[in-house]
Structure 1
Amino acid sequence: MNIPADFQAATTELKDKVILITGAGAGIGKAAALCFAKHGAEVILLGKTTKKLEAVYDEIMALSHNPNEPGEFSIKEPAIIPLDMKGASKQNYIDMATTIEQTFGRLDGLLHNASALGSIMPFEQFPEDMYQEVMQVNVNAQFLMTQALLPVLKKSPSASIIFTSSSVGRKGRAFWAPYAISKFATEGMMQVLADEYDNTKMRFNSLNPGATATNMRRKAYPAEDPTTLKQPSEIMASYLYLMSDQSKDVSGQALTISR
């Protein structure tokens, strides 16, 4: 299933929604945070680098004073959660969920955007410690975070959880072993949750953003001309669609952003 890239969202599409974005300091996570805030959401920025999160916070707050972004509401002040998913424990996520519930009362959206690439190399040469790091960030941390946040998500009248996938998580590719394996696991996690919470107020989908100009993409394809790629801000229609109530009947889908 594909989402039309030209989906048009109302300015108030996400008004009063509380949405957590992981990896919010750069790339797609940053673009999503800005986009969601522009459409009325109260965003929670999670990432491992406080300085980057603070810069995104400043950009969002600056929208309140931008005459070109008048909107129909006041921009909500974002929250910041500095957390390194590589080393975070189950208790860290439980504490985070408790804080979100005490502060906001509920969570309406969760964008699992943060991922670790590792390196592109032959399967037999891949270092165990790098494999473990990729799996920790891309699978284990997402499992523990989602598990901790489910009670808070259940308090939403219509909660959307988006897992970030990849083309190599739907068809394996040579030399991409740990990243591809982790994304196959991501797809499986999404499917299990979608089936388990079928006919509830929560929906779970995976989204493959495709070739986008991000730091991870540059690391994976160092010889590629980034000017030939879509910018993160250019693919936000799909993220808006999945976070909006217009997708309330869409769950368990492996989605791809059409070009």
Structure 2
Amino acid sequence: MDNTIQTTLTHEQIRHYDAPKDCLKGKNILVTGAGDGIGRVAALTYARYGATVLLLGKTTSKLEYVYDEIEGFGGAQPAMLPMNLESATQTEMQQLVNLIEKEFNTLDGVLHNAGILGQLTPLEMYDVDTFDKVMKINFSACFTLTQSLLPLLKSAPHGSVVFTTSSVGTHPRAFWGAYALSKQGVEGMSDIFTQETQNTTNLRFNCINPGATRTNMRAHAYPGENPMSLKTPEDIMAGYVCLMSDDSIGVRGQVIDLQPKQI
């Protein structure tokens, strides 16, 4: 670990980060669930700030659309990495790592954005197959992919891993079932990775809770809610950019709530 002086930003500063132009220039950032919603907007935003974005998702046509959007505004040429996290094996993830190493040499950041809601029902009645699917995509795949990517991330000057959590992960709530449990697990994973690496590498781990945001997942969870009352993914990107920038190299093991007064 180098002797760079690391200053810690407050959560408020992260939420309202005023990103310098090209603050992500030269960085290679992998975004899971990059085909739509927050993942798509994060990928576009990272590219606008100079990053080379690696687009991971299960639907190739959606990745192609984001790819074209980035090329359309002159961003660095992105890469498409089609992968279904529900069925991906550790071998497939290692093949992904080998491809990234061959094409990009190193990896500066990962945004674990992919996730599914599952059922909103009592645990007593929760479908076991759905439970397994939610835990695989939201939790187990995050672990396996992170573990596989660690050598590449450690080779970066200041690697950053950002997990996506939720208020029901920080404070589990009745009827949120596997989704709440998966997010609680993600927060614990980030904490353990932080403890195990903080004295040996320049790699940092944090969680982001985007809060109530205008996405398809939110609409499924709250079908009676007026989506126009919610912030858009574009409205909350400051925190996402901050945690990938070198201004946040002193921020470790945090759960950043981007809308602390929201559900």
Tell me the TM-score normalised to structure 1 length.
Answer: 0.94
For residues 17-51 of structure 1, give each alpha carbon's deviation from its aligned partner in whole angstroms, at most 9, with x where no partner exists: 00000000001000000000000000000000000
The 5-angstrom pairing of residues 141-152 of structure 1 reads 141-152=141-152
Q: Could you tell me how far 1:257 is from its partner in structure 2?
A: 0.7
1:22 match: 32
- Take 2:127 and 2:239, find their aligned partners in 1: how far apart are those partners? 35
The 5-angstrom pairing of residues 77-96 of structure 1 reads 77-96=77-96
- Take 1:183 and 1:191, find their aligned partners in 2: how far apart are those partners? 12
The root-mean-square deviation of aligned C-alpha atoms, in Å, is: 1.0
For residues 176-227 of structure 1, give each alpha carbon's deviation from its aligned partner in whole angstroms, at most 9, with x where no partner exists: 0110000010001000101111032100001101000011111111111100
Q: Could you tell me how far 1:116 is from its partner in structure 2?
A: 1.4
- Paired residues, what number? 249
Q: Could you tell me how far 1:6 is from its partner in structure 2?
A: 2.5
Q: Could you tell me how far 1:11 is from its partner in structure 2?
A: 1.2
For residues 209-246 of structure 1, give each alpha carbon's deviation from its aligned partner in whole angstroms, at most 9, with x where no partner exists: 10000111111111111000010011000001000000
2:162 match: 162
What amino acid is the match of 1:2?
A: H
1:250 match: 251
- Take 2:188 and 2:172, find their aligned partners in 1: how far apart are those partners? 14
For residues 93-133 of structure 1, give each alpha carbon's deviation from its aligned partner in whole angstroms, at most 9, with x where no partner exists: 10001110111010000000001110111211110000000
- Take 2:181 and 2:233, find their aligned partners in 1: how far apart are those partners? 24
- Take 1:57 and 1:121, find their aligned partners in 2: how far apart are those partners? 37
1:211 match: 212
The 5-angstrom pairing of residues 19-58 of structure 1 reads 19-58=29-68
What amino acid is the match of 1:201?
A: N
DSSP-derived class of the 1:55 partner = helix
Q: Which consecutive unaligned segments of at least 5 residues does structure 1 have?
A: 65-74
- Take 2:239 and 2:18, find their aligned partners in 1: how far apart are those partners? 10
The 5-angstrom pairing of residues 218-257 of structure 1 reads 218-257=219-258
Q: Could you tell me how far 1:175 is from its partner in structure 2?
A: 0.4
Q: Which consecutive unaligned segments of at least 5 residues does structure 2 have?
A: 1-9
DSSP-derived class of the 1:77 partner = coil
Tell me the TM-score normalised to structure 2 length.
Answer: 0.93
- Take 2:26 and 2:71, find their aligned partners in 1: how far apart are those partners? 16
